[in-house]
Amino acid sequence: MTKTFVSILALTFAASAAHADIIVQSTTSTANSGLYDHLLPTFEEKAGFKVNVVAVGTGQAIKNAENCDGDVLLVHAKPSEEQFVADGFGEMRSDLMYNDFVIVGPSADPAGIAGSDNAQAALQTIAEAGALFASRGDESGTHKKERALWSDANIDPLAGSGSWYRETGSGMGATLNAAVGMGAYALTDRATWLSFGNKGDYNVVVEGDEDLFNQYGVILVSPEACPSVNVEEGQAFIDWLLSEEGQAAIAGYQLGGKQLFFPNAGS
């Protein structure tokens, strides 16, 4: 056997043993909060492959995964995630972690809702007062939650579209910037709010309502629906996130001494 052939054979075995990088279709809050910057270096060093994150609204992330543009889906709209699996686009869905949504607003508090722990009552007061409210309007997980809250409050905010109800069609950061710029209230996940740098005179005005619970889930994209899925690597990433080590890493991420996400895999 020639040295050249031996070298070629060795390279072939090395290539076959190499892991493929993966794409995670993800909600913006996990990326904008800095969570992936905290988690991925540890995982990638152990796994030997790279995790590439596409951070968009949950609705767009799900569409991207349905178009086979990813290996793993990590978002926060449980009914939509369960439908994604039911439609055959994903394997088993697992709870991963949670935090909460909050309503933020200017210190002037034109609707007088500061200190409330009742999201429905606060939204009713905003609508009755005609106080400005900035909505993402982008089918993200946050937008889906906002629409559910308005529905529970028996209010159609679109009736106020263009007057007190302003849809930005943008991500959370851009929507918060718009809200601060116009003096409007907004619904946001707490992790994004804590990492947001343009707070001005804004504060959390409504928090603590059970309806503001924000669950995140993780799903392997189905190889039957999408044959291009890197199953082994995608599942390895999911398994690590759900493991004791991964859950501890999630719990250990803080900003300003505050924990942003609370692991609850298997709970």
- Domains of the chain in sequence order: 3-98+215-263 (3.40.190.10), 100-212 (3.40.190.10)
Q: Judge if pTM exceeds 0.75.
A: yes
Q: What is the DSSP-derived secondary structure letter of residue 10?
A: H
3 state DSSP class of 230: coil
Can you give the pLDDT at residue 5?
Answer: 36
Q: Where are any strands of DSSP class E within 28-127? A: 51-56, 72-75, 90-106
* Number of residues that this document lists for the chain: 267
> pLDDT at residue 73 above 50?
yes
pLDDT band at 266 (very low <50, low <70, confident <90, very high): confident
**Nearest Cα residue to 194 out of 121, 104, 127:** 104
Average the pLDDT over 36-51 and give the result: 97
Given a cut of 60, whether residue 4 has pLDDT beyond it is: no
The pLDDT value given to residue 37: 97
Residue range 176-189, pLDDT digits in tens: 999 999 999 999 99
Query: Tokens 């270096």 label which residue?
Result: 41
Residue 11 clears pLDDT 90, i.e. is over it: no
DSSP 20: P
Q: Kindly tell me if the per-residue pLDDT of 7 is higher than 60.
A: no
Q: How far apart are CA 46 and CA 114, in angstroms?
A: 46
What pLDDT does 267 receive?
74
Span 90-106, pLDDT tens digits: 999 999 999 999 999 99
Kindly report, residue by residue over 149-176, the tens digit of the pLDDT: 999 999 999 999 999 999 999 999 999 9
Mean pLDDT of the chain: 93
Percent of the chain with pLDDT over 70: 94
Burial class (CB in 10 A: 0-12, 13-18, 19+), 120: middle
Q: Residue 216: enclosing H or E segment and its boundaries?
A: strand 213-221
